[in-house]
Structure 1
Amino acid sequence: MRSEKEKMLAGEPYNGFDPQLVAERTRARELCQALTALPPSNDAERTALLEQLFGASTNVYVTPPFYCDYGRHITLGRNVYFNFNCVILDVAPVSIGDNVLFGPSVQVYTATHPLDADERRSGIESGQPIAIGDDVWIGGGAILCPGVTIGARSVIGAGSVVTRDIPADVFAAGNPCRVVRTLRG
């Protein structure tokens, strides 16, 4: 029988109150809290905490506070920057390419819940992966909804709500986010 974590990562309905998942979320929150408590000049300890959080050596800069559910379900490219107050709900995989910039208060949500109230009350939830291509800039306060892909070199305007895939090489903005113009000829 598959574990709740295996179901979660496969995008299937799972019990979010499973003890293993609760323990892993608690661990991630403790690491995020420790990251926030560090003095800005403590680069060695910051690097160690980020490696523990993401489960791999990283080339990422995080301006605290930063929040995530698990951390280990986030795959980071090189030269990724998170500004203040970013949130990643990584119940499904989040793939972030190289040279990606996150403005302040960007929110990345892979988690989703049943529309039926009785099902929601049961604690069952699911998730859909999010993929962000290389050289993307996501403006402050943007929200990425479950299952979206942002194409390489695109820019998402501040405050946008991304509910569907955004192609490469465009500026997209709004609620819902839509392509405003092409960035390359």
Structure 2
Amino acid sequence: MDDKGWAVKGPLELHEAEWADKFARASNIIYELDNLHPSEVDKKHQLLNDLFGHIGEKTEVLLPFSCNVGSNIKIGKGSFINAGCTFLDTDSIEIGDYTLLATNVTVICADHPVSTRERILPVDDDLEDEDYSYIDDKGNFDDSIEYTFLNTKKPVKIGNRSWIGANTIILPGVTIGDNTVIGAGSIVTKDIPSNVIAVGSPARVIRKNK
């Protein structure tokens, strides 16, 4: 399917050779990063440039850092990614200039349908049908069939000069504007505009940010 209607059965690295290659490449680079001596600054910068789709000048990423693909991540200049951040970048993650991510921020592009019938599907494509014949009237799945789950994805974008507080989780499809602060421990489930402060689970705008 094209990206607009992208949906692939998983686990991606087991069933899709292209994804397996992407995941393996990122894992190898991250392994090297996490085993660097602190003095190996030039090597670290080289590996980050190899990992990301783009990383701007004077942007710093503290380790450990984790991601799925790496090449789907683009970060502007002068930004700061603190230690322990995790990016599930099956789709694009764009971070602007001079933006701060505090420790243990999680940015998620990977998604799955909420409905169990849509999320859990037979491995064998020939067994799928519109009537869900492998599910009885009581909602029980036929245990003689092997199942897997459906993967979907949505991009995430964070604007310029924003600050994402520690332990924040940003969910698939979210855009956060410029000059915006997200309070620590928030879960961002929908778009947050520019020039505001938002906190909570789910994150809600509490006031303007001048």
2 CA distance for matches of 1:52 and 1:147? 25
1 CA distance for matches of 2:66 and 2:23? 11
Gaps of 5+ in 1: none
Greater displacement, 167-176 / 22-31? 22-31
Structure 1 residue runs of 4 or more that deviate by more than 6 Å after TM superposition: none
The answer as to whether partners of 2:54 and 2:73 remain within 8 angstroms in 1 is no
Give per-residue Cα distances to partners, 1:2-48, cap 9 Å, x unaligned.
Answer: 6xxxx4x5451123231110121111012112111111221110011
The answer as to whether partners of 2:55 and 2:74 remain within 8 angstroms in 1 is no
Query: Which residue is equivalent to 2:202?
Result: 176
Query: Which residue is equivalent to 2:192?
Result: 166
Pairing 1:124-139 to 2, within 5 Å after superposition: 124-139=150-165
Gaps of 5+ in 2: 121-147
The answer as to whether partners of 1:51 and 1:58 remain within 8 angstroms in 2 is no
The answer as to whether partners of 1:58 and 1:78 remain within 8 angstroms in 2 is yes
Query: Which residue is equivalent to 1:52?
Result: 50
**Superposition CA RMSD, Å:** 1.6
Counterpart of 1:178, as a letter, is R
1 CA distance for matches of 2:175 and 2:24? 28
Counterpart of 1:154, as a letter, is T
Q: Tell me how far 1:127 sits from its aligned partner.
A: 0.6
Paired residues in the alignment total 178
**What TM-score comes out, normalization by structure 2 length?**
0.80
- The answer on 1:105 being equivalent to 2:104 is yes
**What TM-score comes out, normalization by structure 1 length?**
0.90
Greater displacement, 133-142 / 74-83? 74-83
2 CA distance for matches of 1:75 and 1:36? 20
Query: Which residue is equivalent to 1:13?
Result: 7
Pairing 1:15-164 to 2, within 5 Å after superposition: 15=9, 16=12, 17-56=15-54, 58-59=56-57, 60-121=59-120, 122-164=148-190
Q: Tell me how far 1:56 sits from its aligned partner.
A: 4.0
Q: Give percent identity, aligned residues only.
A: 37
Q: 1:147 to 1:57 in 2, by over 3 A?
A: closer
Give per-residue Cα distances to partners, 1:45-74, cap 9 Å, x unaligned.
Answer: 001100110144543211111000101111
